[in-house]
Chains A and B, each alone.
Chain A
Amino acid sequence: MINKLYLLLIILIIVTGLFLRTNGLDQSPPSLGFDEAALGYNAYSLLKTGRDEYGNWLPLSLRSFNDFKPALYSYLTIPFIYIWGLNATAVRMTSAVAGTASLIFLYLLLKKYIKNKWLLVFIFMVLSLEPYRLHFSRSAFETNLSAMFFSGGAYFLLTVKNKFRKILSVLFFGLAAYSYHSARLSAPLLILLWAFDPIDRLRTNLKFDWSKLVPLFALILICIPIFVMNNSSLLLTRFKQENVFNRFYPYAPKEILSPVSFVYYFTGIISGHLFSYISPINLNFRIYDWVKMSPQFIPGMGMLGWIEGVVFLFGFVFIVGNILKSFNYRFLIYWMIAGIAPAAATWTWYHPLRSLNIFPAIEIIVALGFWQIYLRFKNKIFVIFTILLFLLTIIFTINNELKYSAFENNGEYQPGGYKEGMPYFASISNKYSRVIIDTPHAQGFIFFLFYTAFDPATLHKFADIRPEPGVEGNLNFDFDKYVFRKVDWPQDNKLTNTLFWTRTDITDAEVNRIPGAKIQKRVWNSLYETASIITTE
């Protein structure tokens, strides 16, 4: 009976997780970001033509905004687009399902570390609804898909007993590498650390079992096509743009620059990048500028709940203190190191998106922290009070993600208005010989393509006129009768038979005094008026 109740609770947590991840995917976040739109449109293009938006046949990397996104997310999105059409729900569903599937691995991993059943249920419930788990599952993030596969790979690696588990581990790590760049470094590094177990090796002189490296070679073999089928120098475009050497050189403040300070500051920056992922304030509360100005921003919360960052510290102290006692504890440290490595090599101090693979490890350390606290404070009142506070925090987190973030996340990275206005805009566009789209967004064209479900085969014909690989920033390009540029109404009102998608500061009076010009629609996003659809005869 108790076992059935326990199982029922676990299933209930997963089902609730699925509901909260899939409910209202087109309402919160209220609009797609440009990366989401790109993943969706490429999936649509693959579905219709077997080619990406540039006309590349079944690519492993999507050129997209010249950032060469791993293509697996788009491939997995194809069935949802086939069923529901090209819309936000279909594009985000892959991430939502991956987020739910990752709960299964989270549970399996927790089971390895926490032996008290009811404590495990409580911890699993809390962790399954961490702010980051909800947030990253409700937007189309390749990194969320990758993190799910990475968790699976890590679970099978930790529990490896036979060849089958080894194969599963390599397979999951391989899928993680095909889903997001950072896993291409993290996965082999974790296998290497797992094989060598360097912390234990410091005190023992055991002979190394070279057969342990077989999974590593297998993973490298699996990943070879990523580099062979693409120009590998282009695959490193993102790294070239973001690496730490690029941004911080020469590291030390110019007033005190010397060879000594150069070395001191550079190693300090790299160490700081590593330790920023275990700084509790970063995990639970602090929001850096580069996080706030991106789709990974969770209003008012860090990746974990407020208390969990401090509980993490208890767990961290516990595993460091007991690091020689169990390989399971060392594995968590190896997981953290492997997961942080790709992010630490970039210029940003703390970047959750690039290091999402480590968060399951962080959560297990939080779970161990909970366990340690529970062992010291078994007092009934304390336990009831804690459960109550966590339940309320979970409700706050759900509210925050489903409702409040829809208010906060309007803007550059979630630009609204296209969803509301583009279907109408597309429906009248065939009446006009010229279409001008004025968008403040660097990649505004992708919203047009996405929300009008523009025919991919037609788009492929213009692949040659698009900005070359290596070009960064604004990648808008003109094709067919569509022009992407700023509208200068005093000049552009002279154009005839033209359809405009433009800003809202062009007044009714300015339009009405031009013969044949008409404001067809003022478009609202979820908060305010954001665009105007104007026509001239």
Chain B
Amino acid sequence: MIFGYPVSEQQLEVLYLFGINGFVSLWILRLLSLILMIFVLKMWKSIFYKFKFSNIGWYSSIVLAISPLIFVLILVYPLVCVKLLIVAVFFQKSLKNKYYLVVLGLILILFNINILGNNPAIFNKLDLQDAQNEVTKRISAEDSVLNSIYLPLAIRRASYNKLFISYKQILGEILPFFDFETIFFQEINPLMQKSVVMFYWPEVYLFVLGIFALFKLKNNKLFNFLGGSIFIAVIDYVFSEGSSYLRLVLVVFPLSIIIAFGLNHLVEMTRKYHVISIVALTGVSLFILMGVGTSFYDLNVRPDYWLDNRPIAFEFWFKEISKLNIDQYNSVYVSSLVGDSKKYCYFYLGVKCNDKRFVFKSFDLSKERVLNAVYAGFAGEFVGAKLKNDIDVDWETNSIAKIVNKISLRDTIANQYGNDIGVGIYQ
């Protein structure tokens, strides 16, 4: 069940900051995220009143409201909801003074680095060390080929130098922004990447129609606003890290306008009783409805497929630990391979976690162990890590700890340690 999805790291950070825990506070936080998002959509809609496109504001807000991405942000990412609120406020301000967009760009960079704790890869590209390594790798690779075509070194050096390769690498950070597969086709993405549906695929047709409708309009002010908001989305993408849907979150807003224009155009055409437009509108609407039904049902049936598996691991460990009488044991080890297990412990077990018997770090039972202790971790922590992540299916038989319970996660979240997690007792 999607509503049973456990507390995420971002939610934990917020709750920890206020020194509160438990499921009631988690749901209050989710409610606050929902209120924030309603504010965001309301502000977004009001921008188009200023452009005198009230329909577009409505359509755009509806497109956003039915997006699984927005639902997931409310459910899991409160800090991103705050970020969207900041963006909405600055977008409104930018209608009067475009320099607000510059300020917004800077705020987003700071927000991503300081609040979300991102370490954008672009910084590594800017210091030229990666470029130096690639130049060396390419030249030595080419020189290792026997009987290769001769090219004067001066020509090779023209493009094989730190500056140009750095330019190439920086482009490599920016270009994945222009990714239709992630934005429109996540439901059937060929890369099997971990992401959330941003737009349903039928909306891509409205997007193309929207471009046509926008061009007919010839509204420079709107073009500039759209260009500015896409530029901000690029800045946010480049100066962030993590899942593609979180990095692309800001592009959803300008694209929803274009989709809204497409929808509006189609609706206007139907008013002229244009048969094809009536068929098209009916078809697109039906398919979008199918998309809403299918995607939300899928999200509900397979939350572990769509969302981060780390919170699921922590939930399992602490629920299993809570079933044990921990007073009987000398120590309780909880893996910290995929996050701060101490913070999760406070959420699930409260002040019990202050007990000195709790140890929040990764362990390797094949090398060192403590007698009469509870261990909660990945299969690889019980039987030793494997470089290729190929832990035996019956790993628990090789574990010196008696495994109380185990589950298999859908994703590999701790490479080399296998996809199984368990709780065991070593006596």
A260, B181: Cβ atoms closer than 8 Å: no
**Known contacts A253-B298, A395-B155: A285-B175 contact under CB 8 Å:** yes
Choose among B180, B202, B290 the residue that contacts A279 (Cβ–Cβ < 8 A). Answer: B180
B151, A402: Cβ atoms closer than 8 Å: yes
B302: min CB distance to chain A, Å? 6
A268, B185: Cβ atoms closer than 8 Å: yes
Choose among A255, A389, A392, A404 the residue that contacts B138 (Cβ–Cβ < 8 A). Answer: A404
Residues of A within 8 Å of B293, CB to CB, are 260
Residues of B within 8 Å of A320, CB to CB, are 208, 211-212, 215
Q: Within residues 128 to 165 of chain B, which ones have a CB less than 8 A from any CB in chain A?
A: 138, 141-142, 144-149, 151, 155-156, 158-160, 164
Residues of B within 8 Å of A286, CB to CB, are 176, 179
B179, A407: Cβ atoms closer than 8 Å: no
Q: Is A512 at the interface (CB under 8 A from chain B)?
A: no
The bracket for how many chain B residues form the interface is: 35 or more
Residues of A within 8 Å of B167, CB to CB, are 389
Query: How far is it, in angstroms, between the C-alpha of A320 and the C-alpha of B276 when the chains are bound?
Result: 19
* Segment with Cβ contacts to B, from A93-101, A104-112, A269-277, A481-489: A269-277
B149, A406: Cβ atoms closer than 8 Å: yes
Query: How far is it, in angstroms, between the C-alpha of A27 and the C-alpha of B142 when the chains are bound?
Result: 12
Q: Is B396 at the interface (CB under 8 A from chain A)?
A: no
Q: Is A524 at the interface (CB under 8 A from chain B)?
A: yes
B227: min CB distance to chain A, Å? 11
A400: min CB distance to chain B, Å? 9
Residues of A within 8 Å of B146, CB to CB, are 524, 526-527
Choose among B138, B145, B180, B212 the residue that contacts A278 (Cβ–Cβ < 8 A). Answer: B180
A310: min CB distance to chain B, Å? 6
Choose among B149, B159, B298 the residue that contacts A396 (Cβ–Cβ < 8 A). Answer: B159
Q: Is A471 at the interface (CB under 8 A from chain B)?
A: no
Residues of B within 8 Å of A430, CB to CB, are none
Q: Is A281 at the interface (CB under 8 A from chain B)?
A: yes
**Known contacts A256-B301, A271-B204: A403-B164 contact under CB 8 Å:** no
A393, B159: Cβ atoms closer than 8 Å: yes
Residues of B within 8 Å of A261, CB to CB, are 290, 294
B167-202 to A contact mask, C-beta < 8 Å, 1/0: 110011001101111001101101100000000011
Q: Is B404 at the interface (CB under 8 A from chain A)?
A: no
Query: How far is it, in angstroms, between the C-alpha of A403 and the C-alpha of B144 when the chains are bound?
Result: 10
A349, B190: Cβ atoms closer than 8 Å: yes
Q: Is A28 at the interface (CB under 8 A from chain B)?
A: yes
Residues of A within 8 Å of B187, CB to CB, are 265, 268
Choose among B148, B185, B216, B298 the residue that contacts A27 (Cβ–Cβ < 8 A). Answer: B148
Which residue in chain A gives the minimum CB-CB distance to B134? A300
Number of A-B contacts (CB under 8 A): 160
A403, B301: Cβ atoms closer than 8 Å: no
A294-315 to B contact mask, C-beta < 8 Å, 1/0: 0000000000001101100100
Query: How far is it, in angstroms, between the C-alpha of A276 and the C-alpha of B290 when the chains are bound?
Result: 22
Query: How far is it, in angstroms, between the C-alpha of A264 and the C-alpha of B298 when the chains are bound?
Result: 13
B175, A322: Cβ atoms closer than 8 Å: no
Query: How far is it, in angstroms, between the C-alpha of A278 and the C-alpha of B204 when the chains are bound?
Result: 12
B205-226 to A contact mask, C-beta < 8 Å, 1/0: 1001001101110000000000
Which residue in chain A gives the minimum CB-CB distance to B165? A396
Query: How far is it, in angstroms, between the C-alpha of A316 and the C-alpha of B184 when the chains are bound?
Result: 17
Choose among A202, A267, A404, A524 the residue that contacts B142 (Cβ–Cβ < 8 A). Answer: A404
Residues of B within 8 Å of A406, CB to CB, are 142, 145, 148-149
Which residue in chain B gives the minimum CB-CB distance to A24? B149
A309: min CB distance to chain B, Å? 7
Q: Is B297 at the interface (CB under 8 A from chain A)?
A: yes
A275, B184: Cβ atoms closer than 8 Å: yes
**Known contacts A395-B155, A406-B149: A280-B175 contact under CB 8 Å:** yes
Q: Which residues of A contact B (CB under 8 A)?
A: 23-24, 27-28, 30, 202, 252-253, 255-256, 260-261, 263-265, 267-269, 271-272, 275-276, 278-282, 284-286, 288, 306-307, 309-310, 313, 317, 320-323, 349-350, 389, 392-393, 395-396, 398-399, 402-404, 406-408, 524, 526-527
Given A281-B178, A306-B175, 9 more A-B residue pairs with CB atoms under 8 Å apart are A260-B293, A271-B201, A282-B180, A285-B171, A309-B175, A313-B178, A321-B216, A349-B190, A395-B159
10 nearest A-B pairs in the assembled complex, by CB-CB distance: A321-B215, A279-B180, A396-B159, A280-B178, A349-B190, A24-B149, A407-B141, A272-B185, A281-B179, A264-B290
Task: List 24 interface pairs A-B (beta carbons < 8 Å), by A numbering.
Answer: A255-B302, A260-B290, A260-B293, A263-B290, A264-B291, A267-B287, A268-B187, A268-B188, A271-B201, A271-B205, A279-B178, A279-B181, A307-B171, A320-B208, A349-B181, A395-B155, A395-B158, A395-B159, A398-B151, A403-B156, A404-B141, A526-B145, A526-B147, A527-B145
